[in-house]
């Protein structure tokens, strides 16, 4: 699948992968800073997200193959990947299948383990919106606010609303395919993957996605892994404390 992407900068290739219900534009600001540090930054929309094609098939292996096609068609070598949440699992899966293309890996607030489905509240809020019946974004915001408490999640979802060709509001993501395959999002990294690429696991201090007790299992699959926690940040580490996140990740990429 040919993914939509944006590109900036010149130097070592750095691909940044967004999380569930996200898009490459979530990383637009940080990508400029990485570009200033001599990286060729590519921020794709993963399948069923943003402006990339839609498909009924949606799992980590397919998303890793989409990234492989991007790397191959752009003739990229010695690639670094940053992946947040679902994007982190895609990055880990890619490293397990095509390690020879990678230089370094940064996995943001996601572990190798299985995560039970926990997006029911967000899915219910998305279904409640019915964007085709709305006349403006404020109406969508009010409906989301009825269901969701976290302001960051509300604003994150609202970025996905756009005016389609029929001049109706619509979601950028393919909610039907995502919901149908929601079990795939929580799947553990295959046990057979043994990865020796230098990998930085970044967690948010206030997030529970990567816990201390998860580290031994991660090290069984990632022999060259380091772990850091970013203060004053939850699951949206890069958005909640962008300065510390950027400083720590650039240091690792350039080490």
Q: CA angle at residue 234 from 232 to 240, to 5 degrees?
A: 60
Structural element, H or E, at residue 40: strand 39-44
Q: Is 207 a catalytic residue?
A: no
Q: Which of 85, 203, 207, 229 is catalytic?
A: 85
Angstrom distance (rounded) from CA 83 to CA 155: 20
Angstrom distance (rounded) from CA 187 to CA 228: 23
User: What sign results for the dihedral spanned by CA atoms 136, 25, 65, 75?
Assistant: positive
Angstrom distance (rounded) from CA 62 to CA 146: 35
DSSP string, 59-109: -HHHHHHHHHHHHHHTT--SEEEEEETHHHHHHHHHHHH-GGGEEEEEEES
Q: Is 235 a catalytic residue?
A: yes
Two structure tokens written together for 115: 């995560």
Angstrom distance (rounded) from CA 11 to CA 142: 44
User: What sign results for the dihedral spanned by CA atoms 175, 177, 180, 183?
Assistant: negative
Q: Which of 18, 84, 235, 238 is catalytic?
A: 235
Residues annotated catalytic, as ranges: 85, 235
């Amino acid at each position: 699948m040919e993914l939509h992407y944006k590109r900036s900068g010149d130097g070592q290739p750095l691909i940044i992968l967004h999380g569930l219900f996200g898009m490459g534009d979530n990383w637009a600001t940080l990508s400029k800073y990485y570009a200033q540090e001599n990286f060729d930054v590519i921020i794709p929309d993963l399948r069923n997200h943003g402006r990339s094609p839609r498909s009924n098939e949606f799992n980590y292996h397919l998303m890793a193959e989409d990234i492989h096609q991007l790397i191959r068609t752009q003739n990229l070598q010695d690639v670094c990947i940053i992946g947040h949440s679902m994007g982190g699992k895609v990055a880990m899966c890619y490293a397990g299948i095509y390690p020879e293309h990678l230089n370094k890996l940064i996995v943001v607030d996601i572990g190798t383990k299985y995560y039970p489905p926990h997006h029911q509240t967000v899915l219910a809020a998305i279904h409640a919106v019915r964007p085709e019946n709305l006349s403006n974004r404020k109406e969508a915001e009010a409906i989301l606010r009825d269901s969701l408490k976290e302001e960051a999640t509300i604003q994150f979802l609202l970025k996905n609303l756009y005016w389609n060709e029929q001049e109706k509001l619509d979601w950028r993501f393919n909610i039907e395919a995502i919901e149908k395959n929601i079990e795939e999002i929580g799947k553990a990294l295959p046990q057979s993957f043994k990865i020796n690429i230098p990998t930085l696991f970044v967690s948010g201090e206030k997030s529970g996605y990567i816990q201390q007790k998860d580290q031994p299992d991660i090290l069984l699959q990632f022999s060259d892994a380091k772990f850091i926690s970013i203060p004053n940040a939850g699951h949206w580490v890069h958005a909640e404390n962008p300065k510390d996140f950027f400083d720590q990740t650039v240091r690792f990429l350039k080490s």
